[in-house]
Structure 1
Amino acid sequence: MSKMFLGLKSWKVLVFICLLSWGPLSAQKMYSIASPGGSTLLTIGAPDGKPGYQLSFRGKKITGWSVLDISVDGVSLSGAKIMRFDKPVLHQESFASPLGEQDSLHSIYQQARLHLKATAGLSVTIDFRVMDSSVAFRYSVAMAGAAQHALREFTTFSFPGSPLIYQYNQESVFTPTRVDTLGATTDLPVTVESDGTYCQIGEAVNLTYTKAELGRGTDGNTLAVIFPHDTAVLFQRNLATPWRTVSVAGSAIALAHCRSLNIKLAAPPVPGDWSWIRPGKLIRAQLNTQSGLDCIDFAVKHHFQYIMFDAGWYGAEFRTTSDPCRVIPAIDLPEVIAYGKKRNIGVILYVNYIGLKAKLDSILPLYKRWGVAGLKFGFVDGLTQSGLTWLSQAIQKVQQYGFVLNIHDNYKPTGLSRTYPALLTQEGIRGNENSPDAFHNTTLPFTRYLAGAADFTYCFPNPKNSFSKHIKVSKAQQLALSVIYYSPLQAIFWYGQPNDYTNDGEIAFYDEVPATWSESHYLAGDIGKGVAVVRRKGDTWYLGCAAGLQDWQTILDLSFLRPGISYTVTVYEDDGNQSVRKKTMRLNSMDRLPVKLFAKAGQVFIFKPGSHE
């Protein structure tokens, strides 16, 4: 008995010593949050003395222990004490998405909260949402008094081995890079391949934060949040950081499930009637009255909704002497706007950040009196806390005045188009202005477009201009991208004058393709190799296929079609002679559709229901 007692006593002493050596948090519990369907498990705790997490998907470890940490005024969560853990609660939400990739969105998740208290009285809560295949978390801080505080973030994403990421910044090309060789930062969202699994690390609901990016962490397996454009985020009293998200899939094409995650994490709009917001397609006008009138006629003929006057309509955009309240003499803007109203075509005006910062509060009521339909912001500051805070306020003001909005250059979506539906689209992408190749075109659906809508500023050849400087893929791929890519405001003809487009047969597809959708599915593809996306509007389906720099082929299951219905299918494809060939066929939901594309080529299909079979 005495030996047993001594052994038990020794064991208790050993445990006590281990708890002391692990530090304040290590002696505390680990907490697990499982997704509603059980496929995704998030474990949180502090095995190394700092709060951290580990993510598993279908029983496979996706991340190793990764850091959950911020600091406020130099005080971090290292050594913090867990005060309370609010157990997971199931939440379900459904809401209409009339400007999205499908009519409605459904969100089901387990939500939990961790309450932490660090030294110097710092209290932090971390909210977690765990969905099937995705997790999201964010930090919240509450400080007493009106003093200004500085927050830094040290969140990491650690993987079992050195993952492959598709590195890019703003409007750059994509560079597939192993994290252990990463010498630059990468934008969010970033797509990651790790041990046969695909992940997307993203950010949602950035209203007043800085633009965070990811860099190489302390080892070659880890990505860490960094602030390249601000040393810290400044705040008073309260701050909730953007959501950090990780989505997981067994294949690149399956990763498309996360493309609405940012929207689901954002707050709903204030109650009201948003039916005035009109999505659509546009053509850019040259800087004169006649071009504006011609573009309106072109828009009517081809079922577009808008024209746009871009940079220069009020003078040189970067000059402080150029006034966005005054139109250059070459444009009779009242005449163009009146003609557009008569033909139900809206006029969108571009304003550079210099003009916006100086005169936003003046131009909004002025443009309302003029009858302008929307604004495009240019060369904004989507990088710093001050720039993003200004933009969040500007988006609200534009919406309050009843304009649709497109934000260009380095601004990226984080789900705010749910909160502010008038924000139809943004750039933050390498579009046709920057001459992307087929690898880039077929990488975007698996990377940047998973964050939300993007204005690709398409161009298309006409008999007078091939636009070879900008277009590096076939004509049919250009058509297909308008289905593969999502944007409620599509700039279809960014280059070229309307009267030069006498090739009606080639551009007829643009007459029909919508800008918003009732339903969408990513059917097949792999990053940079090829992709097939199908979308429905009403009873009509649109299928876009594109190849990367090599030939690409697949066989598509058509079970998305209504059973028992025969569909008349119109096909637009490359004819092998630098033009587009049109043909028709009949297909139904039982058929399988082979797709064989040459490198840089594309194919697009319109399925219209016919008779019952």
Structure 2
Amino acid sequence: MSQRFFWLKSPGMLGLILLLQYGQLAAQKVYSIASPGGTTVLELRAEGGKLSYQLFFKGKTITNRSALEITVDGVSFNTAKISRYVKPALHRESFASPLGEQDTLYSNYRQAKLYLKTNSGNQVRLDFRVMDSSVAFRYAVSVADAVPHQLRELTTFSFPSSPLIYQYNQESVFTPTLVDTFHTTTDLPVTLLADGNYCQLGEAANLNYTKVELTRGVDGNTLAVKFPRDTAVLSSKQIETPWRTLSVAGSAIALAHCRTLNLKLADAPAPGDLSWIRPGKLIRAQLNTQSGLDCIDFAVKHHFQYIMFDAGWYGAEFRSSSDPCQVIPAIDMAKVIAYGKEKNIGVILYVNYVGLKSKLDTILPLYKQWGVAGIKFGFVDGLSQAGLSWLSQAIKKVQHYGFVLNIHDNYKPTGLSRTYPALLTQEGIRGDENSPDAFHNTTLPFTRFFAGAADFTYCFPNSKNSFSKNIKVSKAQQLALSVVYYSPLQAVFWYGQPNDYINDEEIAFYNYVPTTWNESHYLSGDIGKGIAVARRKGDTWYLGCAAGPQDWETMLDLSFLRPGITYTATIYEDGDNQAINKRTVTLNNTDKLPVKLLAKGGQAIIFRSGANNPEK
């Protein structure tokens, strides 16, 4: 069998690939794929009947040899032959992101493909994309007949020493854990600290697969893919797995580069007019007509875009006898929706999975007839192949009918908001309704939010209720998190009733803060300690700073501001007696801004230039 050597001379890359054509995996083959800038190298190796990968970043070993393996009906492709290798090709892509954290997303990577074939005719294609600081790979399995087959994925992530992971599941707290003492599972994305580098393991474009979690592998340095609900994934003819991703950075704040990776890996939306999709803020109404009307007036006054009727508007949500086509007598839905249309405020309706599964195709045209603006899915199955496959087609249908969508409970994003932009947000997060503390709040920006938008269900205090059961941080931190946390649809007042919010000066920040952005910068922070994020909408900048359970201070470089412009910065910060203080200073892009926060505290700032100041 002959050997072939290829020298690749693409800009920024010089890699040696040793390829033995049509050799079994028992023979050694090595493929090296470098990122466009050369900082990140993925090395693939077929040796001893095993296919594996290893990641290098800036010359340092990030992973040891880790398994690339998938089985069909219990038979591994390690017995297959390599039928073809498509050598790395440079791709430079960009696309508009009008509902995102910045106007345009850029994706530069080298892509390679490896094809394997068994004697029975089954085939697998492995796709690899290598970016500066990130890699992504997936399996595409084709079987020779149309009979359902069982797929199991045996991917691993092995590190030179036991990494520290920030373990969590769905809406749980975070538990920093060394893998060599790890005895449970963790959700994706998961952030870990390995030999001085910060890494994130994630998943992108899960359309019809099962949910994947990670468990301890064969040793204390290794994490392995696990299906928590399904014993296997069922497939007939062909299936593509979600992308598995691994991102690296030298600091926690630098790891924020991966927060849009899922979107870059997901499919583009189908052509068509999507300008009707409106992001915004909402207040949740009580289950009666007057509350709906009062919430609409409140939304107008505070520049919100939506109100929402949550669980109970059509009866007990978990009972199959409750009909999401029928409104309870306490709500005159037609009156509320009509009043909302008059005031340009949309009405979003919650529907539980029980009602969705039985009547989705009935309620979509009906709600369109009613004039509903959006739908919130509740208690969906985001854990199994059947549940995620159902969700994918449901998201598509909801967008087709012209509704914005929010999916709650255990579902987490994998980039499908690019494919279906009407999917504005989802939960899969421990928000204010579950009483998170300051450690949790300052861990989220480095973990769950790297997967995509999340509905945090804020519970800002008012004159009648401090919501002390729910809020474990200061008021100013509550304001700041609306900048730090990205979500095109934000539930700002989750439990509060509109007529109880007479503290207009304290909540004025919510009048102005948008939910989508032209530009974003993660300025400073560390996991569980503190975070500072600046975002721009038009000519106005917003800055959110939040402290963890200990006092936190940092010095912020304001060079992101437009040069030559003097900005008036309105600062909302914690005062005495749990009040919000507001003050103004003038700043420009050559200044440094010191931030000193007490434990659990925060600071929210609006930078306005000249005439762009409504408070003058």
SS of residue matched to 2:607: strand
User: For the residues of structure 2 that align with 1:278 and 1:610, how far apart are their CA atoms?
Assistant: 28
Q: Which AA in structure 2 matches 1:195?
A: D
Match of 2:306 in 1: 306
SS in 1 for 2:283: strand
Which whole-Å CA distance do the structure 1 matches of 2:484 and 2:398 have between them? 29
Matches of 2:110 and 2:241, distance apart in 1: 20
Give how far 1:48 is off. 4.3
Aligned to 2:507: 507
1:179-238: CA deviation from partner (whole Å, max 9, x where unpaired): 011110000000010010000000000000000100000000000001110000001111
Cα distance in 1 for partners of 2:96, 2:237 equals 34
Are residues 48 and 570 of structure 1, via their aligned partners in 2, closer, same or farther at CA, if it must alter by over 3 Å? farther
1:71-95 C-alpha deviation (Å, 9 max, x unpaired): 0111112233222211000111111
Matched residue of 2:108: which SS?
strand
1:473 aligns with 2:450: no
Q: Give runs of aligned pairs for residues 180-259 of structure 1, distance below 5 A.
A: 180-259=180-259
Contact 2:36 2:109 in 1 (8 A): yes
What CA distance in whole angstroms lies between the structure 1 residues aligned with 2:142 and 2:496?
54
Contact 2:349 2:374 in 1 (8 A): yes
Which residue is equivalent to 2:496? Answer: 496
Q: Which whole-Å CA distance do the structure 2 matches of 1:67 and 1:145 have between them?
A: 27
> Which residue pairs with 1:16 in the alignment?
none
8 Å CA contact 1:364, 1:401 repeated in 2: yes
Contact 1:75 1:122 in 2 (8 A): no
Equivalent in the alignment of 1:322? 322
CA distance in 2, matches of 1:386, 1:109: 33
Indicate the residue corresponding to 2:558 in structure 1.
558
Shift of 1:168: 0.3
Please state how far the C-alpha of 1:160 moved relative to its aligned partner.
0.3
Hey, what does 1:459 align to over in structure 2?
A: 459
Q: Provide the C-alpha distance between the structure 2 equivalents of 1:32 and 1:341, rounded to a whole number of angstroms.
A: 58
User: Secondary structure in 2 aligned to 1:102?
Assistant: coil
Q: State the partner residue of 1:610.
A: 610
| Residue pair 1:76, 1:118 contacting (<8 A) in 2 also | no
Deviation of 1:611 after TM superposition, in Å, equals 8.5
8 Å CA contact 2:27, 2:48 repeated in 1:
no
2:398 equivalent to 1:431: no
Q: Which residue of 2 aligns with 1:7?
A: none
CA distance 1:48–1:571, shift in 2 (3 Å): farther
Map 1:277-356 → 2, pairs under 5 A: 277-356=277-356
**Aligned residue number for residue 68 of structure 2:** 68
Letter paired with 2:59: G
Q: Deviations over 1:460-492 (max 9, x none)?
A: 001110000000000000000000000000000
Q: In structure 1, what is the equivalent of residue 533 of structure 2?
A: 533
Cross-structure match for 1:136: 136
- The residue identity in structure 2 corresponding to 1:560 is F
> For the residues of structure 2 that align with 1:121 and 1:350, how far apart are their CA atoms?
47
Moved more, 425-434 or 69-78: 69-78
Letter in 1 for 2:368: K
Q: Does 1:264 align with 2:255?
A: no
Matched pairs, number = 590
Q: 2:104 aligns to what?
A: 104
Contact 2:167 2:187 in 1 (8 A): yes
Work out whether residues 70 and 77 of structure 2, in 8 Å CA contact, stay in contact via their aligned partners in 1: yes
CA distance in 1, matches of 2:495, 2:438: 20
3-state SS of paired residue (2:436): coil
Checking the alignment, whether the CA contact within 8 Å between 1:109 and 1:131 is kept in structure 2 is yes
The question of 1:153 aligning with 2:153 is answered yes
1:402-454 deviations in Å (ceiling 9; x for gaps): 00000000000000000000000000000011000000000000000000000
Is this contact kept in 2: 1:149–1:234, CA < 8 A? yes
Partner of 2:8: none
**1:365: which partner in 2?**
365
C-alpha contact 1:25 1:45 (8 A) present in aligned 2: no
Identity of aligned residues (%): 77
Once the two structures are superposed, the pairs formed by residues 370-381 of structure 1 within 5 Å of their partners are 370-381=370-381
Q: Does 1:176 align with 2:176?
A: yes
Q: Deviations over 1:88-125 (max 9, x none)?
A: 00111111000000011011100000111235333111
CA distance in 2, matches of 1:434, 1:77: 44
Contact kept, 8 Å, 1:540 with 1:607, in 2: the verdict is: yes
DSSP 3-state at the match of 2:314: coil
After TM superposition, the structure 1 = structure 2 runs for residues 381-396 of structure 1, keeping only pairs within 5 Å, are 381-396=381-396
Is the 8 Å Cα contact of residues 121 and 144 (structure 2) preserved in structure 1?
Answer: no
Who is 1:13 aligned against?
A: none
For 1:576 and 1:120, the matched residues in 2 are separated by 74
**Whole-Å separation in 2 of the counterparts to 1:276 and 1:84:** 45
2:39 paired with 1:39: yes
2:421 match: 421
Aligned to 2:167: 167
Deviation at 1:27, TM superposition (A): 2.4
Verify the 8 A CA contact 1:75 1:120 in the aligned structure 2: no
Q: What is the aligned partner in structure 2 of residue 445 from structure 1?
A: 445
- Match of residue 18 from structure 2: none
Aligned partner of 2:236: which letter?
Q
- Structure 2, unmatched stretches of 5+, are 1-22
Check conservation: 2:158, 2:221, Cα contact below 8 A: yes
In the other structure, the counterpart of 2:588 is 588
Distance 1:461 1:250 in 2: 38
> What secondary structure is seen at the aligned counterpart in 2 of 1:114?
strand
> Helix, strand or coil: the match of 1:299?
helix
Q: Render the CA deviation track for 1:490-536: whole Å, top value 9, x for unaligned.
A: 00000110000000000000000000000001000000000000000
Q: Which amino acid aligns with 2:27?
A: A
In structure 1, give the amino acid aligned to 2:564: G
User: Which residue identity does 1:362 align to in structure 2?
Assistant: T
Give me the CA root mean square deviation: 1.1
Inter-partner Cα distance in structure 2 for 1:286 and 1:29: 64
**Residue pair 2:569, 2:607 contacting (<8 A) in 1 also:** yes
Give, in whole Å, the separation in 2 of the partners of 1:333 and 1:361: 20
- Is the 1:75–1:119 contact (alpha carbons within 8 Å) kept by the matching residues of 2? no
The AA in structure 1 aligned to 2:136 is A
Residues of 2 paired with 1:256 and 1:317: CA distance? 38
CA contact (8 A) 2:137 2:243 kept: yes
Distance 1:495 1:385, change over 3 A: same
Q: In the aligned structure 1, how far is the partner of 2:272 from the partner of 2:485?
A: 29
Match of 1:283, SS?
A: strand
1:332-375 CA deviation, whole Å, 9 max, x = no partner? 00000000000000000000000001110100000000000000
Deviations 1:31-75 (A, max 9, x none): 000000000000001244310100000000000000000001111
Q: Is the Cα contact below 8 Å between 1:571 and 1:606 reproduced in 2?
A: yes
CA contact (8 A) 1:65 1:158 kept: yes
User: For residues 200 and 121 of structure 2, what CA distance do their matches in structure 1 show?
Assistant: 35
Q: Which has the larger radius of gyration?
A: 1
Q: TM-score, normalised by structure 2?
A: 0.95
